[in-house]
Chains A and B, each alone.
Chain A
Amino acid sequence: MSERILLRLDNVSKSFTNHLRGAVHLPVVDKVGFDVAAGEIVILGGPSGVGKSSILRMIYGNYGIEFGKILMRSSLDSQFVDLAAVSPREVIALRRSTIGYVSQFLRAIPRVSAIDVVAQPLRERGTNADEARDLARALLTRLNLPKALFELPPATFSGGEKQRVNIARGFATSHPILLLDEPTASLDAENRAVVCAMIEEKRENGTAILGIFHDEEVRDRLGGRIVDVSTFSARKAAA
């Protein structure tokens, strides 16, 4: 199995220090260690507030870490890079080449239409504008977003509509590692099934998938290996 690993967390610890509240120290997770292999779905489990989303953000480089290594590689025959040890420019390069991320909430950009929000990461990876928009259109259609919304900026969309735009954006590219933060949270049963099918297709294509799914049905269907984050929780004492 180990030769198929694309993502490895090794002894990762993270805490926040809030200086606005007299340097209150908030430990988040401690000594996190697990692997995700190509073509595998790993589900982060544990109650709310245990640090699941924080782990995804650390892997994306959005949160810094105090200790440990976040090793990743873009293919099975390339070298591992430690995201925690590289420069900001290299983190940006890894986001382009290696890690895809579907955040919990879409950060809408003023005046940019839904279809361009989805097409943007493709264009950053070199797809030409027309092709990127075609792919974006196909994904939004598959996710049952009303066509009338395609050319509108998502700022005024409903929660479920925004989430589908966000999912389309995250799934448009073929990053070897995909991080999913509750992608099915505000979707109805029909769209949940579409997203599950899209996740399964990524798995078949050899993507290493790490996700948070609160929905039992989704977890059962995907049947991934569960990593219980509460075993790494540094908040046991704080809670």
Chain B
Amino acid sequence: MSEAPLLNATAITKTYGSQIGCENISLDIHEGEVLAIVGESGSGKTTLLNCLAQRLPMTAGRVSYRMRDGTTRDLAGLTEAERRFLMRTDWGFVHQNPADGLRIRVSAGANIGERLMAIGDRHYGQIRETAHDWLSRVEIPGVRIDDRPTAFSGGMRQRLQIARNLVTNPRLVFMDEPTGGLDVSVQARLLDLLRGLVDQLALAAIVVTHDLAVARLLSHRMIVMKGGRVIETGLTDRVLDDPRHPYTQLLVASILEV
């Protein structure tokens, strides 16, 4: 239990002028661990995710990451080239809206292949084969490899975005409301797929969601945010079944039971 975390964030604060995005947040994530960040709209969860993923400059705080070579680096000290390489290989980022994470005008196969080419793969046949394999892993029929994402349903686009992210075998994936805009049945399929992939690949993931059922299904630990601060944290089922903070109790009590 003492091994070093994959990612450590210390005292992260992000302000937008006088507005607080998130304030003084520290967390660790270990290999193979799924952390859910929950809270309502405006609670700062997406701001926190973007700060962790280096997509948004922090006002204060630091994020360090154990690189593939075993060295732990302060991410503020990476060169631009190192930062881009990290984001293209060892990290993934799954957006709520697949259009934000896909290149909508190129084929499904090219969407997956692009990340491979970015890390130096040049063999067309192999890239296509890998793309094909990943399409089947996310349950998209191989015959759709040359179709553009514009011809895909919302659920398929989201699965394609996941394939595009996972093709380089990242160790850490950031997800922002990955099941957000999907129908319930499509959501269930995606969740099951994500659960399976996280498990098989021993991925670490940080998942932002406002849906407590998604958090329960996917995550080991969770963080509850309100007004930019962390108000409760712990084992996912402990937080959901024995919530302490008044706001967490309100969230849990507000779930509709079927």
On A, residues with C-beta under 8 Å from B are: 16-20, 57, 61-64, 87-93, 109-112
Contacts and interface: CB of A to CB of B under 8 A. Distances in A.
Interface centre among A16, A87, A93, A110 (most CB of B within 10 A): A110
A19 B242 CA distance: 12
Nearest to B241: A62
Given A20-B253, A88-B220, A88-B221, A111 B242 contact: no
B234 interface: yes
A19 B188 contact: no
Contacts of B250: 19-20
Contacts of A61: 235, 238
B241 A89 contact: no
Interface in B42-63: none
B33 to A, nearest CB: 7
A16 B235 CA distance: 17
State the main secondary structure of chain A at its contact with B. mixed
B114 interface: no
State the main secondary structure of chain B at its contact with A. helix
Given A19-B246, A19-B249, A20-B253, A91 B192 contact: no
A16 B220 CA distance: 23
A16 to B, nearest CB: 7
Interface residues of B, number: 23
A57 B240 CA distance: 13
B235 A88 contact: yes
B191 A89 contact: no
A91 B239 CA distance: 13
* List of 7 A-B pairs having minimum Cβ-Cβ separation, nearest first: A19-B246, A110-B188, A88-B235, A111-B192, A63-B242, A88-B221, A19-B249
Contact of A57 (B33, B191, B241): B241
Contact of B1 (A16, A90, A112): A90
Given A89-B33, A89-B221, A110-B192, A18 B1 contact: no
Contact of B217 (A57, A64, A91, A109): A109
A64 B242 CA distance: 7
B192 A62 contact: no
Contacts of A62: 235, 237-238, 241-242
A20 B246 CA distance: 7
Interface string B1-43: 1000000000000000000000000000010010000000000
